[in-house]
Amino acid sequence: MVYPPAKPGGKGTVAVAGVTFQVRRGEIFGFLGPNGAGKTTTISILTTLLVATSGRATIEGVDVQADPEGVRRRLGLVFQRSTADEELTGRENMLIEAGFYGLSRGEIGNHVSDLLEQMDLSSAADKFVKSYSGGMRRRLELAVGMVHRPRLVFLDEPTLGLDPQGRAGFWRYIRSLRETKGLTVFMTTHYLDEADQLCDRIAVIDHGRIVASGTPSELKDGVGGDTLVVSTAAGAGDLTPLLRSLPGVTSVASNGATYRVKCSNGESLVPKTVIAAERAGIDIVGVTVLKPTLDEVFLHLTGHAYREEGDAPSTSPSHATDPGIVSRGK
């Protein structure tokens, strides 16, 4: 995707290029990348808000360029930024959105009340949106995106600005829809622990290109396994040669009494380390296994930690195999 040049004859911005992936029906698919990586641009192309300058994307077999109406009917969208009408109530916003899909108040009324309740907005449903807190607006946004009961939703940082309770509630709801209705979810988030817990598969995008994809475990395994932190008593002998000789160990670093051991399976190495150290007469005072996190994957792949501008770091919070979304880019 090339954004139009700012000036006639200008070169334009290549926002995404070489983005190819498939999302399976019923899957929660995470699309992760640093600021400006091209996540929102990709979502905008897939949801027909932008027309790609090259490449092709289909949703449930429908080409986004050839049949944008058909695509729009199939999906729900939660934007990164708020789109609700401030001068209307939460319920009115939802009913208007439902109207865009040809759903009348009569047929959708209960569903709207239900959604408002799920999002913990029942008591505020008939108040003006301008009186809502940031978190309430976010939850309304989510309810609006789900009002026409889409089978596929695009969630662009849906939980940004929500407190842990709000986030947990939202994901509980999304999970239950996935389980009961086979909902397919395409999401971006800057909370990597959220992505780790929720996503069946993840693609990492950086500078407009997909740099890795796989299940959260596959991605974490790709950064070199676990780290064993071994502490010895002051004045104990050097454990380095012994640690290096243990199976599955790829590297050992030490600052004197503490050793960081990179290894393929931390848990099974704990007893081996303790026994070997005891035999060598070296006193161990503590062993901790650190599992790799998606933050490390991120750092490894993109060279920078995953943070929203000026925001908190990311550590705050299988189904059918037929293709749901297919996207191919150049």
Ligand X SMILES: Nc1ncnc2c1ncn2[C@@H]1O[C@H](COP(=O)(O)OP(=O)(O)OP(=O)(O)O)[C@@H](O)[C@H]1O
Q: Shortest Cβ distance from residue 322 to ligand X (Å)?
A: 28
Closer of 38 and 90 to ligand X (Cβ): 38
Contact string (CB under 5 A) for Mg ion, positions 58-97, x = contact: ----------------------x-----------------
Q: Where are the beta strands (DSSP E) in the chain?
A: 2-3, 13-14, 21-24, 28-32, 56-59, 62-63, 75-78, 152-156, 184-188, 201-206, 209-214, 226-232, 249-254, 258-263, 284-290, 323-328
Nearer to ligand X (CB atom), residue 36 or residue 237: 36
What burial letters (b/e) apply to 235-251, b meaning 16+ CB within 10 Å? ebeebeebbeebebbee
Using CB under 5 A as the binding rule, whether residue 47 contacts Mg ion is answered as no
CB of 176 to Mg ion, least distance (A): 26
Which does residue 35 touch among ligand X, Mg ion, none (CB within 5 to 8 A, set by kind)? ligand X
Angle between helices 164-181 and 134-145 (to 10 degrees): 10
Least Cβ distance, residue 19 to Mg ion (angstroms): 14
Closest distance of CB 187 from ligand X, Å:
12
Question: What's the min distance (Å) between Cβ of 28 and Mg ion?
Answer: 18
Residue type, 327: S
Can you tell me whether residue 48 is helix, strand or coil? coil
- Minimum distance between the CB of residue 6 and ligand X, rounded to whole angstroms? 8
Binding region for ligand X (CB under 6 A) = 3, 13, 15, 33, 35-41, 80
The correct pick among 19, 26, 40, 137 for binding Mg ion (CB under 5 A) is 40
For ligand X, the closer of residues 10 and 102 by Cβ is 10
Q: Decide whether 41 or 89 has the Cβ nearer to ligand X.
A: 41
Judged by CB, which is closer to Mg ion: 39, or 137? Answer: 39
The packing angle between helices 90-100 and 134-145, to 10°, is: 20
Residues 6 or more apart from 223 whose CB is under 8 A from it? Answer: 292, 296, 297, 300
Which residues lie closer than 8 Å to 197 by C-beta, 6 or more apart? none
Pick 194 or 226: Cβ nearer Mg ion: 194
